[in-house]
Amino acid sequence: MQHQLSKQDTLFKYLAIVPLFTLLLALAMYPLFSLGRMSFSSVSIVQGDIGSKWVGLVNYRNIFKDPIFFQAFGHTLIYVAVSVILELSLGLFFSLLVFSLKRGTLVFRTILLMPFLIPPVVNGTIWKLILNAQFGLLNKLLNQAGLPAQSILSQERTALFGIMIVTVWQWVGYNMLILYAGLQTLPKSVIEAATIDGASRKRMLFQITIPLIKPVLFVALVFRMIHAFKGFDLFYVLTGGGPGYSTEIINTYIQKVFMIQQRMGYGSAISILTIILILILFFVFQAIMERRSAK
């Protein structure tokens, strides 16, 4: 039986959310609003005071004359797409592997999860030392094997790929954990029925397991995409955006424009446009996924 709220209770319900709503407005909406306002201004710090002058759409027009912005945005999309696909594929592989083990799952899970628990800056530093062309561990091993030395982070063709490898290494355990949790919820009866019917492993994987854990896969995919779009630490530590602009992503570029160059108006415009573009991408992605699952 549904309980009818009195007028007083209804009022209290709305009053109760006022503190949270106020906090949300103060902490999230105000900075966003402030960023938006700055994006239409020329902002400078003079004599210790922040001064801003309304310039209309000038900052936004300048974005379209800035090839580095588009290059950085393109790198961001490649980075997110490739890293997330690789991470999920490997995460699925390892989760199935751990799920199939009869003993030692805790040990494997812990080992796979360890890179995720290390702070990204530390991860970046570890890999910078491994991949260092002059005295890195990788080249020492290659030398011992009689293979030519590699300078992955120093070359335009491979630098972004190198960062993706480190990202995958860092996040594969996280994906494994989420997917492993999904595997544990699979109805045993369905698996047993398929086994009795003599379904091959491949068929079991593609026609039973993956379809059944699709909601979990989708959650992992969205979470990781959101995280990957926030990528910064590894790029900052490993390459600083170089060589040239070959590993410049939108976040490293915003940091440079905003913090190093102190072009706050332009930096705000880039930030706002990036937020809009990413939101559009997410809505389109979500719509596609929903349409596919409806089918």
Partner 1 sequence: MITRKALCIALLIAAAISPLFAGGSQETAETSEPTSVVVCINESPWLPAFRDIAKQYAEETGVIIDIRAFPFATMSERGLYAATSSESEFDVITMNESMAAKFYHDGLVAPIKQIQPGYVLDKEVMTYDGLNYWDQELKYPALSGELYSFPVNGNIQLFYYRKDLYDAAGLSKPETWDDVVNAAKVIADPASNFYGYAVRGQKGHMALGWDFYPYLRGFGGDIFADAPKDFTVTMDTPEALAALSFYADLAHNYAPPGSSSIGQSEQIAMLAGGQLLQTIVVAGANAQMDDPKMSVVPGAIAYTVVPRPVGGVHASHTGVLSMGIPDNIDAARKKRAFDFLVWFTSQSVQQTFAEHGGVPIRTDAMNTKGEDSLRFLTAIQESADATVAYPRIAAWPRIDEVIESRLSEVVAGITSPAEALALMQIEITDIVADEGLL
List interacting residues with partner 1 (CB under 8 A): 44-48, 50, 131-135, 149, 151, 153-156, 159, 239-246, 256, 259-263
Of 128 and 227, the one with the shorter C-beta distance to partner 1 is 128
- Cβ proximity to partner 1, 49 vs 197, nearer residue: 49
**DSSP state, 149?**
P
Per the listing, tokens 């072009």 go with 263
Minimum CB separation of residue 67 from partner 1 in Å reads 10
Angle at 129 between CA 124 and CA 131, to 5 degrees: 90
Shortest spacing between CB 143 and partner 1, in angstroms:
9
Residue 154 CB, nearest distance to partner 1 (Å)?
4
Residue 219: CB minimum distance to partner 1, A: 35
Nearer to partner 1, 153 or 166 (CB): 153
Q: How far is the CB of 125 from partner 1 (least distance, A)?
A: 11
Q: Where are the alpha helices (DSSP H) in the chain?
A: 7-24, 30-38, 58-63, 67-100, 105-117, 120-131, 137-144, 159-184, 188-196, 201-203, 210-212, 214-229, 233-238, 250-255, 264-294
**Cα–Cα nearest to 111, from 54, 29, 173, 66:** 173
Nearer to partner 1, 223 or 245 (CB): 245
Locate 265 and state its tokens.
Answer: 């108006």
Question: Closer CB to partner 1, residue 167 or residue 239?
Answer: 239
* Alpha carbon distance 211, 215 (integer Å): 8
CA distance 178 to 105: 14
Instruction: Please give the Cα distance from 211 to 293 (Å, whole number).
Output: 10
- Under DSSP, the state recorded for 262 is -
As given in the structure block, the two tokens for residue 62 are 């300048």
Minimal distance, residue 139 CB to partner 1, in Å:
8
Tokens 């979990």 belong to residue = 216
- Tell me the closest approach of the beta carbon of residue 237 to partner 1, in angstroms: 10
- Tokens for 103? 């003993």
Residue 88 half-sphere exposure toward CB, CA atoms < 13 A:
20
Residue 39 or 139 having the CB closest to partner 1 = 139
State in angstroms the smallest separation of the CB of 68 from partner 1.
Answer: 8
| Minimum CB distance to partner 1 smaller for 50 or for 226 | 50
Residue 72 or 80: which CB sits closer to partner 1? Answer: 72
- Pull the structure tokens for residue 267: 């930096």
Neighbours of 159 (CB within 10 A): 23
